[in-house]
Structure formats: structure tokens, C-alpha cells
A and B are shown apart, each in its own frame.
Chain A
């Protein structure tokens, strides 16, 4: 914990020279925003394992999957740019970790680490193919997945990495390189944990290479008993709220022997699925959730 705090303080004090993108601790509405983001990624895992009854019925395997789902970092990167004086915002939705299939395969061997279930490049390909688990990409909402580094770019990481921030930055970079969006935009990003050093460097290099301004707001892990400035504590509280709710959601949705496949949704369009859930409750005649459990 002490190491993490030292890193956080260094990160915050470095903000001034970290290119044009600052890294700042955040709180307030950020856990609310990321809570919603997290559900997209949990749904992806639920869609995968719901088709594998052997996994769902394996208590130990499910324990490991739950641990990975709870521990994942979630990020939302909003890239705003102007075309002919009109402003557009494209949102990149990202989580840490390998492909859904790769992560589930890794979970067979424990709650952390990776297995020998494929090389990094194989997993990148696999993640690219996992479109059916996620909302369909639209011009302004896309899933940020692992990508190979752009040759000659400074946006690199030490060793094979699958951080949420790195995925998001590389997705924006690739869109810029492909001419889909212009360089020189503004980034507002929210991340559920403190970015690692490697990601911090990648973000800084991205800002410099593509002339991007903005701020990455992250929530700091830690307890309220830790000494620190009020903003740091508030960020820690926000992180704890997010983490507790993530834990509760995972426990409720990833139940041994009972995983319900979520209805497909679009980015930012939870309403249809939730309305379906609501209708389902209507049909069962349940007047309370406790009753609906039985």
C-alpha cells in the first residue's frame, strides 16, 4: 500500500510535465459512470460462460472467474474532436485483461496470472473475433481491445500488457492513423484504478505524438485510515464504493450452476435489457426481489 501511495503522489506531482494529458485522482460521479461501464464487460463474460455449463457447475473454476471479474480495471476514454467547427465525441470502452476466452481459460489455473492458452498475438486475434459478446461498435462507441503496437510509435509497454488504459489509447491511436478521427482532439478519461507506470508513459507519449490535450481521472485504491490529502481520501472512498458494488454484482450474476445469459444491448442502451428484466419480474408476479429469488 505504501508503495502504491508513493507512486500515486509521484504521478500527481508529475502531472505538470506529463505532456498535455494530465493524470488526476477523481471521485464524485466517476464510480457511477464506471459502474455502468463495468456491466458491459461483465455481460461479455456472462455470455461466454452461459454457453459452457461445465464451467458454470465447477465451483472452484467459478471462484477464479469471479476473482478475475472483480479485479479487472475498467476505463472509459472520451475523445472529443472538431470537424468543420462541429464537436464530436467518440467513446472507447475498455477493460484490463486478455480476451474473454483467454481470461476464462486462464481462470482454470487460478485467480491470477496467465496460462499457456495462446501467445499474446493469438489472444489479440481471439479478442478481435469476440464481437458477439459485446455491443456492436458504432461510429461513436467502440470496444477498445488489445492491439499490436503501431510500428515506430512511442506508445509501447514493457512486456506483454493488456491494461485497460493501453487498450483505449491504442484504439484511439489506430483510429487516428486510419484517418477515422483527427489528431489534436481532447481526451477525458475515467479509470477505476491508478494507472501503472507503463500506461502512464504510454498516455504521455500518445499526447505528445498526436497533440492531444486532456485529463485521465483515476480512482486510488486504499482505505480511509491511510494518511493523505482530502482529495486522495475521497478518491479512495470512490474506489471502494466501485469495488464493493463490483463485488456484489459479480457475486449476484456469476452464481455457481446458475448463470443467466444477458440480452444483447447497444452501447449506452441498457434500457431495452432492463425493461426486459422488469417485464420478466412483471410476468413472474413477484412483488419483491426476495420473492423473486425463491
Chain B
């Protein structure tokens, strides 16, 4: 195929939103860790564990609907202004703060329409609901992918969400890399094209699903760069998947109008225990990403174990069965340590950290993920 024709074909795989100017997000947590390593040493930089950090950033760490703390204790430390000065100018969007970026990238924020996520009337129409649109937009999943994955997975929202995010990652990879590099990056536009053209769930090819599962699992267990399909705002992949599943649940509707929300707030009867003890839906737009992810894990188990797809559609379950254990690894208890290990790996590659120092973070994460590391 001639180069210009090939480009035209690839461009047809991209919605206008994906063709808009995209820029990599500023990684606030990595910058903080790097600053702490340089100024306080690796041992100190990696001594934070999940709960103490969360209690600095959330008002009530025991609530799935916790509000955020604007001025955490660490912002009163003598090193904080020095850290802020080290942040490159222009990386913090107007109206945002470094603390806000940290909270977003660590999965502590909500998806309230027009508070956390801008939702237009067109978005509401595209995603068939105000709340569904807010969750899906936060997940950065385009509407055509969102509905195609839903159509090809029936009522299995958890599976559909995984496929939708994998497809979006692939679409973003196509948009953010030169077509001539696709082969050396193992980017397969055909997989996206075939999936988007498919109308029969039983005809989605296994090799395509296997490929999407491979991409998704890797994205969940690592920190994909922007060009490798990472989030525009640095939201970890697992939270994107969970938010997409929440969007499906919201779009599907509830027996009670408004479901578990009253406006942007949870109804008094909405589940509010933490850690989440059942698969009951939350008021998703008012819940933080970590809480939505905890719900999502319940939903995934339910689909995989209690409501497996019929044998003739066994291909449907492959993707998420394979990704399932990776999801279990990214659990609430160890999430900070897991992120630290990935950040340390990045810094070691860039020469900002010795291999021994990176090993420190890796050992700490390994202790918490123990023998289930698949």
C-alpha cells in the first residue's frame, strides 16, 4: 500500500478527538519521588506506605466518597516550596495544583460531572447519560469504542471495560506514533479495525483478543508512557478500566431513578463501607477511583466465576481471565508500594537512581505481592 493511502486508512481508524493535539502529562508523583531521592536519599523517599500518604491527601480514608485535602501536611514541610520551584513551568494547568495532580494520578479523585470532569450535552448524548459520560470521559474512552465493546460483550461490563480500554490504548498508540514505526512497536491497527467492524460477538477473533489482553495486562502492571498509550492526565490504567465499567453500569440504568446518587452526591442509602464488602454499585461519580476499582474487582469475579459466558462464547472470557490476576495484584493495600517500584524503575533507567536504590522499592512491593506475581 502506498504511504499516503496507508495513512488515510489509519486516519480513518481515529476519531477527531484522537487526532487533536496530544501532549504527555506531567508525572507529579514521579517528580516528587525524584526530588525526594535527590534531596533526602532513596531510603527516605521510599519510606511512605499507602495509609499515611492517603491520610495526607484524603479527608476520610475509610470512605469511598472521601473528599480531598487541599493542603496536605507535607505542603508545610520546609522542602515543599523547594520542590514546587523544581517543577517545570507550564506543566500545571490553570486552576490545578501539584497536590491536585498527585490526587488525580493516585486515584483519589471523583468523576462528578462538571466538577471533576467537563461533560457537554453532546457528551451526554454520545454516552447516553450524564453520569455515564463523566465516568467514560475520565477513563478517556471514545464513545464509538465504548459502545462497540459493550455490544460485543453483552451484559459482561467488566469484560467490556477491559476490552474498551485496551482498544483505546491501541487507538492512542496508532495516533501517537508514526505509521512507519508500527511494525517495530508491534502496534497492530488491523486488530482495532477488525474489532470495530465486527457485529457478531462470536466472530471476534481469538488472536485479536489475545493481543488486546496482552496490551492491557502490561498497561495495568506498568506505567505506560504517553506514546505507548498512557493516559492524557496520568490516570493509571486500572482506574480507567474501573471507570469504564462504572460508566456501563450507569448507562444501563438502575431500577430507581438516579440510582445511588442524588445529583453529584451519594444517597444516604448508597453503600459506604470501606473496604468494599460486596459488589453493590456505588454512586460512582461521587466515589474516588480506588473505591470504583474495588467495586470493579467484585464485578469481575462475579462475571468470571458466577456468571461465566456460555461455552460457545468462551472467547469472550479470555481477555479478562488473563488480566484478572493482574488486577488482584493492584489491590488497595499495596498500591503505593507498587507505584513506587514502577517509579523507581523509571528513575533507575534515567540514571537518577542506582540499581541498588531501585531494588529497595522493588523489594518492598514484592513483599506485598508475594507469590501471586503472574
Contacts and interface: CB of A to CB of B under 8 A. Distances in A.
B351 A225 contact: yes
B374 A277 contact: yes
A29 B186 contact: yes
B269 to A, nearest CB: 24
A248 interface: yes
Given A288-B331, A292-B370, A36 B184 contact: no
Contacts of B259: none
Contacts of A108: none
Nearest to B170: A29
B325 A224 contact: no
Contact of B334 (A252, A268, A288): A288
A27 interface: yes
B44 interface: no
A139 B334 CA distance: 42
Given A260-B371, A279-B305, A289 B328 contact: yes
Interface in B146-161: none
Contacts of A25: 184
Contacts of A223: 349, 351
B11 to A, nearest CB: 19
A25 to B, nearest CB: 7
B85 interface: no
Interface in A222-278: 223-225, 231, 234, 236-237, 240-241, 244-245, 247-249, 251-253, 255, 258, 260, 268-272, 274-275, 277-278
B173 interface: yes
Interface string B330-353: 011110000001000100111100
A275 B325 CA distance: 8
A275 B218 contact: no
Contacts of B217: 32, 35-36
Interface in B220-243: 221-222, 225, 227-228
B321 interface: yes
Nearest to A271: B321
A39 interface: yes
A256 to B, nearest CB: 12
B183 A217 contact: yes
B135 interface: no
Interface string A28-40: 1111110110010
Nearest to A225: B351
Nearest to A39: B374
B321 A252 contact: no
Contacts of B214: 29, 32-33, 35-36
A244 B343 CA distance: 12
Contacts of B173: 28-29
Given A29-B214, A293-B370, A240 B304 contact: no
B370 A252 contact: yes
A275 B187 contact: no
Contacts of A24: 183-184
B144 to A, nearest CB: 22
A244 B217 CA distance: 15
Given A223-B349, A252-B366, A275 B371 contact: no
11 contacts: A28-B177, A39-B374, A217-B183, A217-B184, A223-B351, A224-B349, A252-B366, A269-B318, A274-B325, A288-B332, A290-B334
Given A252-B370, A271-B317, 7 more contacts: A26-B184, A29-B214, A29-B215, A32-B186, A36-B214, A237-B225, A288-B332
Interface of B: 173, 177, 181, 183-187, 206, 210, 214-215, 217-219, 221-222, 225, 227-228, 275, 301, 304-305, 317-318, 321-322, 324-325, 328-329, 331-334, 341, 345, 348-351, 362, 365-374
